[in-house]
């Protein structure tokens, strides 16, 4: 029997290896498509954008109308041929948003990027996908982990570039909380504080992050979510008092969003409540009477606007009427704050 030359054997081995790799690549791409509904092969669109706009979801079941509103605002129309690309960002989880968003009007493509460490938050291929999108949506999760993994990375800069181009940035639960100027960050990723403990001691296990995103109409704000279900009025009052007491700001506006509810903010700073419940806008505009460690909070005359679904609140020019006053004295409400 004639022996094959070493060169021929090597060529055959290389050919088999190549075919195997191509087959594996095809299967993996097919699997990703079937599982994720990724549309990586679509042509990148660059329409004129109608934003910037924001969407703050209160957690629980998502408000499809709020995401559709953001898409429509960015493309500048409700019923037209203009389409945009959407990127969903999360630190863990699956691609459940892809199927939902891909069915919405005006969507050219949708991808979910799971970014769970700083290395991926600086990866060029990921950053390119984010920069090419017109709408960014942050899934719920843990705002502490989001800040730890994404702050001061190329991902942060890429999201800001989408906003600067007139795009949309939204999120739900923790994904909404990271949009405000003042961010409650769960104190080194420990269990979240709730109303009773926050009013009893506004310093214990309560820390904040600053200088993450800088959205024009969220300057001087702190966003909280799951508001009605978890009775978080006292918690956001403590957060507001801390900004003033610590010298961060002379005033602070809390934007508190109920579950199954979203606050959407247009390019002129007009906030509208969409969904099942209400949103509360809570203003502290003077120093607290007493706000210090190991001492119950006392802060008189918070101004509170309760905005039901369908109504609006002007973030560009805070209203001078329509509010009610509530106080906290030695860690207790003066009367029902809701």
Please report, in tens digits, the pLDDT of each residue of the chain (338 residues total).
444 454 554 554 555 444 444 444 433 333 333 233 354 445 566 778 888 999 999 999 989 999 999 999 999 999 888 999 999 999 999 899 999 999 999 999 999 999 999 999 999 999 999 999 999 999 999 999 999 999 999 999 999 999 999 999 999 999 999 999 999 997 656 678 899 999 999 999 999 999 999 999 999 999 999 998 899 999 999 999 999 999 999 999 999 999 999 999 999 999 999 999 999 999 999 999 999 999 999 999 999 999 999 999 999 999 999 999 999 999 999 999 99
Chain centroid to Cα 235, Å, comes to 20
Residue among 220, 310, 333, 262 at smallest CA distance from 55:
262
CB under 8 Å to 247, separation ≥6 — which residues?
none
- Three-class secondary structure of residue 54 per DSSP: strand
- CA dist 262 and 272 (Å) reads 8
Residue among 173, 34, 20, 22 at smallest CA distance from 91:
173
Q: Yes or no: say if 306 and 283 are a contact pair by the CB < 8 Å rule.
A: no
Instruction: Provide the pLDDT for residue 192.
Output: 82
Instruction: Provide the pLDDT for residue 13.
Output: 53
Chain centroid to Cα 308, Å, comes to 21
* Residue 63, token pair as written in the block: 């408000």
The third-level CATH classification (topology) of the domain covering 53-333 is Rossmann fold (3.40.50)
Q: Is 36 exposed, middle or buried (0-12, 13-18, 19+ CB in 10 A)?
A: middle
Residue among 56, 53, 51, 52 at smallest CA distance from 171:
56
Torsion of CA 214, 135, 175, 305, to 10 degrees: 70
pTM, whole model, 2 decimals? 0.85
HEC letters along 162-217: HHHCCCEEEEECHHHHCCCCEEECHHHHCCCCCHHHHHHCCCCCCCEECCCCCCHH
Residue among 93, 89, 152 at smallest CA distance from 118:
152
HSE-CB of 26 using CA atoms within 13 angstroms:
6
- CA dist 220 and 147 (Å) reads 18
Residue among 81, 88, 89 at smallest CA distance from 105:
81
Q: Where are the domains of the chain?
A: 1-36, 53-333
Residue among 197, 278, 279 at smallest CA distance from 239:
197
CB under 8 Å to 50, separation ≥6 — which residues?
73, 74, 75, 76, 166, 267
Residue 298 DSSP one-character state: B
Instruction: Provide the pLDDT for residue 7.
Output: 52
């Amino acid at each position: 029997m004639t022996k094959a030359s070493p060169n021929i054997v090597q060529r055959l081995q290389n050919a088999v290896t190549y075919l195997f790799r191509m087959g594996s690549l095809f299967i993996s791409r097919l699997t990703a498509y079937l599982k994720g509904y990724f549309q990586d092969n679509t042509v990148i669109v660059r329409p004129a954008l109608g934003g910037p706009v924001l969407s703050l979801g209160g957690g629980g079941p998502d408000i499809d109308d709020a995401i559709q509103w953001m898409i429509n605002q960015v493309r500048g129309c409700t019923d037209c041929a203009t389409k945009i690309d959407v990127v969903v960002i999360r630190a863990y989880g699956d691609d459940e948003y892809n199927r939902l968003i891909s069915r919405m009007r005006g969507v050219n493509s949708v991808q979910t990027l799971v970014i769970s460490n700083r290395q991926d938050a600086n990866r060029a291929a990921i950053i390119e996908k984010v920069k090419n999108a017109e709408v960014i949506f942050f899934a719920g999760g843990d705002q502490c982990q989001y800040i730890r993994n994404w702050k001061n990375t190329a991902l942060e800069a890429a999201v800001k570039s989408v906003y600067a181009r007139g795009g949309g940035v939204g999120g739900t639960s923790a994904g909404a909380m990271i949009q405000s100027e003042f961010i409650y960050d769960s104190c080194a990723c420990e269990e979240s504080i709730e109303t009773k403990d926050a009013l009893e001691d506004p310093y214990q296990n309560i820390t904040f992050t600053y200088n993450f995103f800088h959205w024009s109409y969220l300057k001087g704000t702190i966003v909280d979510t799951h508001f009605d279900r978890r009775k978080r009025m006292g918690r956001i009052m403590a957060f507001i008092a801390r900004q003033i007491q610590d010298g961060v700001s002379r005033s602070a506006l809390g934007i508190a969003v109920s579950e199954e509810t979203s606050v959407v903010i247009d390019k002129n700073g007009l906030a509208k409540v969409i969904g099942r419940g209400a949103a509360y806008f809570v203003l502290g505009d003077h120093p607290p009477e007493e706000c210090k460690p190991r001492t119950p909070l006392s802060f008189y005359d918070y101004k509170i606007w309760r905005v039901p679904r369908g109504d609006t609140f002007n973030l560009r020019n805070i209203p001078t009427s329509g509010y009610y006053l509530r106080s906290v004295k030695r860690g207790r409400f003066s009367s029902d704050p809701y």
